[in-house]
Chains A and B, each alone.
Chain A
């Protein structure tokens, strides 16, 4: 197997660290510390829920912002700085470059998310003074967020292959929002009397990346057990969808005239 995507990935990660992307962790730490101290005074009886909900929301929001705003610039920046041409002059294929860029940003997001998880755990321990077995659900919720971030990264990369960063941001954000509301789109089909509308709603439901699948924050806050099947199914779903998006991105990028 070619080591090229791995080399590109490591360099993308280094570049992200150099660009001080991980500075967002300071905001996250401050948010968690502030909440942990204040939560007792304003949320009587549901301190744990507030910490978990806020922590998971922050991990998700920070991650999504990073995935989109860095993701849309991954290809565009290389073209603008003309570094892509010297890279492609070497025995590096375009799809390898894309996969490497994707891997690098996912690696950055994984490190970022892991560090935020440590922050959340610390805040949770400060508030509850103990960890419980059921807190494992929070780890699953964070893993699902990471799958979601990987999928968003692939989408951002896809759009950046043929559009400007501004438009790519809008497209990615649009697809993300539509994907979050995928079940509502399906429900529109259920309540409508028109079979065409029902068919269309169902088709859109299955075609859109279903980001609703990855949201188990409420279950984590209420210490509910997440079905084991859902973990592998969501993993497989993310892997397959990322494959679809990266293949499409590779096809578009490969057929693009870069001269």
Chain B
């Protein structure tokens, strides 16, 4: 009796299992649809105190620092460029990371750039960036590049050129510091708000960082600054054209035809500049170069 029953069980299983697995496939598709609204991960940080996390790490703080650093980069990467995105956890994440591993230089440098950048490229919190970099300097006084980062935040974002010059000067005292730190201190003190100084600062960031995201951001700044310089020069040429002909040029070609401009006249991405209303040159609409509001040329009304 038992042998027959056992064979029957095997037969039932052989028939029923494939049918049930097919049903499960269809059911899983329905579940995927129903569960979709719940899949949006909420940003959260259960413990905001780096010191507390360090205590709870049971001596594995370097590994935990790496995990937090990865999380910080992911958090930033998920949001950067999104309209309306905020970065309120970027500061705490970097703070915890650098508390767990105070020598993790990339975290300070990343924070210096992306905490201070205005939205949507960054958190728009230069105050937090200053705090983070100062924390980095306190833990790593030999890292003269951090002084450069501090100088960048003060000059580019906070427009405090005295403090920026002081930071560059302080960094230049390090025997390992490169000579440009002293030059930068002088340039920032003399003409902090000039485009040339900004180019110098971003140029140094570009050439000294190994982080791909920082490099990309520095390159974007450099391209944007090049475009601003080009547009300012073209605008000046447009004024000259008006003085000569009594009206503004309608196209860039008219500047060329008048012998006032020559060459390619295109932005660093290769898009030709276009002429706007009242002879104000502009970026090509197809160009992805982004100019800060304070870098845009004022519109003429005559």
Contact call B31/A247, Cβ cutoff below 8 A? no
Contact call B6/A255, Cβ cutoff below 8 A? yes
Contacts known (A46-B44, A240-B20, A247-B17); A254 close to B10, Cβ less than 8 A: yes
B12 contacts partner chain A, Cβ-Cβ < 8 Å:
yes
**Beyond A49-B46, A254-B10, 14 additional pairs, beta carbon < 8 A:** A44-B48, A93-B6, A210-B28, A218-B38, A218-B42, A233-B34, A236-B27, A237-B24, A237-B31, A241-B24, A247-B16, A248-B17, A250-B13, A255-B10
Contacts known (A93-B2, A251-B9); A230 close to B46, Cβ less than 8 A: no
B12, B27, B37 — most chain A CB neighbours (10 Å): B27
A171 CA / B27 CA spacing, docked (Å): 25
Which residues of chain B (260-300) have a CB below 8 Å from chain A? none
Which residues of chain B (19-62) have a CB below 8 Å from chain A? 20-21, 23-25, 27-28, 30-31, 34-35, 37-38, 41-42, 44, 46-49, 52
Cβ contacts under 8 Å, A250 to chain B: 9, 13
Q: Which residue of A lies closest to B9 (CB)?
A: A254
Cβ contacts under 8 Å, A3 to chain B: none
How many residues of B are counted as interface, with CB atoms below 8 angstroms from the partner's CB atoms? 32
A28 CA / B44 CA spacing, docked (Å): 24
Q: Which residues of A contact B (CB under 8 A)?
A: 42-44, 46, 49-50, 53, 88, 93-95, 205-207, 210, 213, 216, 218-219, 222, 224, 226-227, 229-230, 233-234, 236-237, 240-241, 243-244, 247-248, 250-251, 254-255
3 A-B pairs with least C-beta separation: A251-B13, A254-B6, A247-B13
Contact call B46/A233, Cβ cutoff below 8 A? no
Mask: chain B, 151-183; 1 = CB below 8 Å from A; 0 = not: 000000000000000000000000000000000
Cβ contacts under 8 Å, B27 to chain A: 233, 236-237, 240
User: Of the candidates A46, A49, A230, A243, which one forms a contact with B20 in the assembled complex, judged by CB atoms under 8 Å apart?
Assistant: A243
Contact call A224/B38, Cβ cutoff below 8 A? yes
B212 contacts partner chain A, Cβ-Cβ < 8 Å:
no
Contact call A95/B9, Cβ cutoff below 8 A? yes
A250 CA / B10 CA spacing, docked (Å): 7
Taking the closest CB of chain A, its distance from the CB of B8, in whole angstroms, is 9
Interface of B is mostly: helix
Contacts known (A234-B31, A237-B27); A247 close to B12, Cβ less than 8 A: yes
Taking the closest CB of chain B, its distance from the CB of A156, in whole angstroms, is 18
Interface of A is mostly: helix
Taking the closest CB of chain B, its distance from the CB of A23, in whole angstroms, is 25
A179 CA / B38 CA spacing, docked (Å): 18
User: Of the candidates B7, B25, B41, B48, which one forms a contact with A218 in the assembled complex, judged by CB atoms under 8 Å apart?
Assistant: B41
A50 CA / B2 CA spacing, docked (Å): 54
Cβ contacts under 8 Å, B21 to chain A: 206-207, 244
Taking the closest CB of chain B, its distance from the CB of A123, in whole angstroms, is 16
Cβ contacts under 8 Å, B14 to chain A: 251
Mask: chain B, 84-111; 1 = CB below 8 Å from A; 0 = not: 0000000000000000000000000000
B301 contacts partner chain A, Cβ-Cβ < 8 Å:
no
A94 CA / B2 CA spacing, docked (Å): 9
Cβ contacts under 8 Å, A241 to chain B: 20, 24
Contact call B34/A46, Cβ cutoff below 8 A? no
A230 CA / B33 CA spacing, docked (Å): 9
B74 contacts partner chain A, Cβ-Cβ < 8 Å:
no
A44, A94, A206, A255 — most chain B CB neighbours (10 Å): A206
Contact call B47/A42, Cβ cutoff below 8 A? yes
Contact call A210/B6, Cβ cutoff below 8 A? no
Cβ contacts under 8 Å, B23 to chain A: 240
A216 CA / B13 CA spacing, docked (Å): 32
Taking the closest CB of chain A, its distance from the CB of B164, in whole angstroms, is 35
